[in-house]
Chain A
Amino acid sequence: MEFWKEDFYSLKFAEKKRDDTIIINIGPQHPATHGVLRVLAELYGEYIVRSECVLGYLHRMQEKMGEIKTYPQFYPNTGRLDYGHALAWNWAYVGAIEKLVGIEVPEKAEYIRVITTELNRIASHLLWWGVYILDLGAFTPVMYAFEDREILLDILQRITGSRLTYAYFRFGGVFQDIDSKFIEDTKKFCKRMHSRLNLYHEFVTENIIFKKRVEDVGIFTKDTITKYGATGPVARGSGIKYDVRKAEPYGVYDRFKFKIPVEDKCDCLARYMVRMKELEQSLSIVEQAIEGLPEGDFKNKKTPKMIKPPAGEVYFSVESARGKVGIYIVSDGGMNPYRVKLRSPTYSNLSLLDEVSKGMMLADYVATLGSLDLVIPEIDK
Chain B
Amino acid sequence: MSGVEWTFIKIVIGMLLILGFIAFNAILLGYGERKISGFIQGRLGPYAVGPHGSLQMMVDMVKLMTKQIITPKKADGFLFWTAPILSFMSVPVLFMVIPFSPSFTVINSGLGIVIILAFSGLNVLALCIGGLGSNNKWSLLGAARAVSQFIAFEVPILLVVLSITLMTGTLSLSEIISKQGGFPWQWNIVLQPIAFVIMFVASLAEMNRVPFDLPEGESELTAGYSTEYGGMGFGLFVLAEYTHIVVASSVITTLFLGGWKGPVFSGIWWFLLKMYILCFIILWIRWAFPRVRFDQLLNLSWKYLIPAGIFNLLATALLVKLF
Contacts and interface: CB of A to CB of B under 8 A. Distances in A.
Instruction: Please determine if A and B sit in direct contact within the complex, based on CB atoms under 8 angstroms apart.
Output: yes
A31 B220 CA distance: 8
27 contacts: A24-B138, A30-B222, A31-B218, A31-B222, A45-B144, A46-B141, A135-B219, A136-B291, A137-B217, A137-B219, A138-B288, A138-B291, A139-B286, A140-B41, A140-B288, A144-B42, A209-B289, A209-B292, A210-B290, A212-B292, A212-B296, A213-B296, A361-B295, A363-B217, A363-B291, A363-B294, A366-B219
Contacts of A144: 41-42
Contacts of A46: 141, 294
Question: What does DSSP make chain A's interface, helix, strand, loop or mixed?
Answer: helix
A30 B141 CA distance: 15
Contacts of B286: 139
Contact of B218 (A24, A137, A362, A364): A137
Contacts of A363: 217, 220, 291, 293-294
B112 interface: no
A147 interface: yes
A134 interface: yes
A147 B43 CA distance: 10
Among the interface residues A43, A133, A138, A212, which one has the most CB atoms of the partner chain B within 10 A?
A138
A32 interface: yes
A153 to B, nearest CB: 16
B293 A207 contact: no
B54 interface: no
Interface string A299-322: 000000000000000000000000
B287 interface: yes
A151 interface: no
A183 B40 CA distance: 31
Contacts of B210: 137-139
A135 B220 CA distance: 8
Nearest to A24: B137
Nearest to A136: B290
Among the interface residues B37, B289, B290, which one has the most CB atoms of the partner chain A within 10 A?
B290
A212 B42 contact: no
Interface string B195-237: 0000000000000001101000111111000000000000000
Contacts of A213: 290-293, 296
Nearest to A211: B290
Contacts of A32: 219-220
Q: Which 10 A-B pairs have the closest CB atoms?
A: A137-B291, A143-B41, A138-B290, A136-B290, A32-B219, A137-B290, A363-B293, A135-B219, A24-B137, A140-B287
Contact of B219 (A31, A143, A212): A31
B80 to A, nearest CB: 19
A143 B43 contact: yes
Among the interface residues A31, A134, A137, which one has the most CB atoms of the partner chain B within 10 A?
A137
B315 to A, nearest CB: 26
A44 to B, nearest CB: 12
A362 B293 CA distance: 9
Interface in B279-312: 286-296
B289 A207 contact: yes
A6 B221 CA distance: 23
